[in-house]
Amino acid sequence: MLSLRLAPLAAWAIVGCGRAPTPTECNALLDRYVHKLVESDRPGLSAGELLKLQVEARARAGKDPAFGECSSRVSRSAYECAMRAETLDRMEICLN
């Protein structure tokens, strides 16, 4: 289920201005997305289990060419909006 919910990360828009997110920022965005996904789908998950899921998501994302384009496909404004978002749904709105 986690891999299916990561699909919106591959559909980022190219709009906005400012410098593009760095690869480190793209990883932070993925970590935040996984955190928000876990919060909504599996509340009460331990910090260790969350970290394990984030590591797994990064490994999968590393093999996904779309994620490799994060820096060129995600605008600064979309990145900042997603990093401020309080919920998974709000993150997805920012990134679509």
pLDDT tens for 22-55 read 999 999 999 999 999 998 888 889 999 999 999 9
Tell me if 34 is assigned to some domain: yes
Is 48 inside any structural domain?
Answer: yes
B/e letters for 52-76, b = 16+ CB within 10 Å, e = fewer, are ebbeebeeebeeeeebeebeebbbe
Structural domain harbouring 34: 20-95
Distance of CA 91 to the CA centre of its chain: 8
Tell me if 9 is assigned to some domain.
Answer: no
Q: Cα–Cα distance between 87 and 19 in angstroms, integer?
A: 25
pLDDT of residue 67: 87
Assigned domain for 13 exists: no
Give the chain's domain count. 1
pTM of the model: 0.75
> Is 2's pLDDT higher than 90?
no
Integer distance in angstroms from the first to the last C-alpha of the chain?
A: 20
